[in-house]
Amino acid sequence: MVSFWIHLTIGVIVALIALGAVAINTALEHGKLHIVTTTTLFNHDPFLGSDSVTLRLKGPTDLEDVDGMFLQVLSALEDEITVYPSENYLYFRLDTSGENVWGSILLSKPELDKGFVHFAYFKFNENPQGPSDFLIKHRKLGPDDGAHLVKENDFRYILSYRDEEVIFNLNEIDQSPPRLFELRPDEVWVLNSRDESGLNFHLIYDTKTTSFFWLLNEEEHNQEEWIMLNDKIMLGKRTGFVFYVDEKQQERKILIGAKMINMRQNNYYDGPFDQLADNYITKEHKLSKYIQEAYPDTKGLIDEYGRYIENEEARVAIAPYFPYSSLDEVLNLVDRCTQNQEQDFYACITTNP
């Protein structure tokens, strides 16, 4: 299942964020908008949840000049930086003449060793209604564009572009199966991921119902304040994520909902579908096998990462949680699934939208 709202793609999937505000001075020169002073970098420190760092741009940059924007953002970074989200996105945001511009540098694991990185940004739309509402600037940069990557090891890359050089450390995530609870007989652990929201997840596959679901990984630090909506359902105050507390399985927390507006905006509260643990996926990994079982229309069409072989810009979205507009919708979903005797309860509460 691939949906624009679920996995926005441009060259690769561009996951975006919306946090805080930063003042940007702008100037109009020869009819073109230029950034004059600062932007804000959003990274996700494990103990801060969502962390922001103000970057100082070294000079005016034309928003129509993607290469120039890339140079400006790269030059504003520290000499060495750790990227926390597990699909290796580094996010930034600009405020320009009252318009928000969101973007990312993506060190896509399938392409890193081929020498390519992705850079993208677009004008934020608060209530997008379709793909045309996202006016995206994007560049895939490699050696022919003057971008050069040196691999020191699987989690450390040196990126140089023109006169700038930055060391990127990718997040090393423990890939051990859950230890705080037991899986049911038909369930298998697939991978662990770190979401751009700052939360950590286990991806689980049910071989009997051929369906996925996400569990909160409580073995890692999760910066969140939890609100119990009832004795079985809890809400993340910061993220808006809704979890079912599974008392039958050592109270593991199953992700069952994310806010519809966040999924439409494709911001960092849209859920973990866009943060698979790419750094640990190999041709031998069973992720692709499970995707093709869960979504038969993808059979023979995707690679080990779940990207379409004929169109690597598109990737299967594993988003088995409800896009809610009101919390009553999620509560009603659980009630319906509790009363439904014909469908597996866990598959019912974690159906792909």
pLDDT tens digits, 89-109 = 998 877 665 667 788 899 999
Helix (H) or strand (E) holding 202, with range, is: strand 200-206
The predicted structure's pLDDT at residue 208: 97
pTM of structure: 0.85
State the DSSP string of 106-163: E--HHHHTTT-EEEEEEE--SS--SGGG--EEEEEE-GGGTEEEEEEETTEEEEEETT
For the ranges 52-56, 98-102, 211-215, the maximum mean pLDDT occurs at 211-215
The predicted structure's pLDDT at residue 298: 97
Please give the biggest Cα pair distance in the chain.
Answer: 67
Provide CB contacts within 8 A for 178, sequence distance 6+: 189, 202, 215, 217, 219, 252
State yes or no: pLDDT of 217 exceeds 60: yes
Phi, psi for 268 (deg, rounded to 5): -80, 5
| Nearest of 300, 252, 306 to residue 277 by alpha carbon | 306
CA gap 318, 305 in Å, rounded: 12
CA gap 98, 104 in Å, rounded: 20
The predicted structure's pLDDT at residue 118: 96
pLDDT category of residue 62 using cuts at 50, 70 and 90: confident
- Least confident interval from 26-30, 82-86, 143-147, 319-323: 26-30
Please give the residue that has the higher pLDDT: either 351 or 135: 351
State the DSSP string of 30-55: TTEEEE-SEEEEEE--TTTSSEEEEE
The predicted structure's pLDDT at residue 45: 55
State yes or no: pLDDT of 51 exceeds 50: no
**Measured between alpha carbons, how far is residue 198 from residues 17, 237, 347 in Å?**
12, 13, 26
**Each residue of 237-262: pLDDT tens digit?**
999 999 999 999 999 999 999 999 99
The predicted structure's pLDDT at residue 55: 59
State yes or no: pLDDT of 44 exceeds 60: no
Helix (H, G, I), strand (E, B) or coil at 304: coil
CA gap 168, 155 in Å, rounded: 8
**Each residue of 255-314: pLDDT tens digit?**
999 999 999 888 889 999 989 999 999 999 999 999 999 999 999 999 999 999 999 878
Provide CB contacts within 8 A for 295, sequence distance 6+: 1, 316
> Are the C-beta atoms of residues 39 and 73 closer than 8 Å to each other?
yes
The predicted structure's pLDDT at residue 8: 38
Instruction: Report, as an integer, the average pLDDT of 188-213.
Output: 96
Provide CB contacts within 8 A for 306, sequence distance 6+: 276, 287, 288, 291, 298, 315, 316, 318
Phi, psi for 195 (deg, rounded to 5): -80, 160
